[in-house]
Amino acid sequence: MLILDSVAAMQQWSQARRQAGQDIAFVPTMGFLHQGHVSLLDAARKAADLLVLSIFVNPTQFGAGEDFDTYPQDLAKDTHLAKKAGVDVVFVPPAAQMYPQGYNSWVEVAGITEVLCGASRPGHFRGVTTVVNKLFNIIAPRVAFFGNKDFQQLAVIRRMVKDLNLPVDIVGLPIVREADGLAMSSRNSYLAQEERQQALCLSQAIAQAQQLAKNGELRVTEILHRLRMSIESHLLVKIDYLKICHQDSLQEQMLVDENSVLLLAVFIGRTRLIDNAFVMEPVAKIPL
| pLDDT for 227 | 98
Residue 144 and residue 210: Cα distance in Å, rounded? 30
Average pLDDT for 217-241:
98
Residue 87 and residue 37: Cα distance in Å, rounded? 12
Residue 287 and residue 38: Cα distance in Å, rounded? 22
Q: How far is CA 34 from the centre of its chain?
A: 13
Q: What is the DSSP string of 169-186?
A: EEEEEPPPB-TTSPBP-G
Average pLDDT for 190-208:
97
CATH number of the structural domain 186-278: 3.30.1300.10
Does residue 239 carry a pLDDT above 60? Answer: yes
| pLDDT for 286 | 45
Residues with a catalytic annotation lie at 37
Residue span(s) of the chain under CATH 3.40.50.620 come to 2-173
Residue span(s) of the chain under CATH 3.30.1300.10 come to 186-278
pLDDT bin (cut points 50, 70, 90) of residue 281 is confident
> Cα separations (Å) of 89 from 10, 134, 163?
9, 17, 29
| pLDDT for 284 | 55
Average pLDDT for 71-83:
97
Average pLDDT for 30-46:
98
- Residue 200: phi, psi to the nearest 5? -65, -10
Nearest to 224 by CA among 246, 209, 211, 210: 209
- Percentage of the chain surpassing pLDDT 70? 98
Average pLDDT for 149-175:
97
Query: 205-228: per-residue pLDDT in tens?
Result: 999 999 999 999 999 999 999 999
Query: 92-133: per-residue pLDDT in tens?
Result: 999 999 999 999 999 999 999 999 999 999 999 999 999 999
> 2-173: which CATH topology?
Rossmann fold (3.40.50)
- Residue 254: phi, psi to the nearest 5? -95, -35
The whole-chain average pLDDT of the chain stands at 96
